[in-house]
Amino acid sequence: MPYVEARGTQIFYTQYGREGKALVLIHGAGGSHLHWPSPLRRLPGARVYAIDLPGHGRSSGPGRTAIEEYAADVAGFLDGVGLAQAILVGHSMGGAIAQTMALRYPERVAGLVLVGTGARLRVSPLLLEGILQNFQGVLSLMDDWAWGPGTSPELVERGRRMLARVDPQVLWGDFAACDRFDVRDQVGEIRVPTLVITGSEDRMTPPKFAQWLQEHIPNARLVLVEGAGHMVMLEKPEEVAAQIRDWLQAL
> To which H or E segment does residue 51 belong?
strand 46-51
| Residue 250 CB burial class (10 angstroms; 0-12, 13-18, ≥19) | exposed
Rounded CA gap, 173 and 169, in Å? 6
- Let me know: does 9 contact 60? Beta carbons within 8 Å: yes
> Is the per-residue pLDDT at 208 higher than 70?
yes
What pLDDT does 61 receive? 86
Distance of CA 121 to the CA centre of its chain: 12
What pLDDT does 136 receive? 92
**For position 82, which CATH number holds?**
3.40.50.1820
Count of domains forming the chain: 1
- Over residues 202-206, the mean pLDDT reads 96
The residue range of the domain holding 147 is 3-250
* Residue 1 pLDDT grade (very low, low, confident, very high; cuts 50, 70, 90): low
| Beta-bridge partner residues of 112 | 88, 194
User: pTM (2 decimals)?
Assistant: 0.97
Q: What is the largest CA-CA distance in the chain?
A: 48
**Residues 3-48: tens digit of each pLDDT:** 999 999 999 999 999 899 999 999 999 999 999 999 999 999 999 9
Percent of residues, the chain, with pLDDT higher than 70:
100
- Over residues 180-193, the mean pLDDT reads 97
Which residue stretches of the chain are H helix? 38-41, 67-81, 93-104, 125-128, 135-145, 153-164, 168-180, 207-216, 232-235, 237-250
What pLDDT does 126 receive? 85
What pLDDT does 195 receive? 98
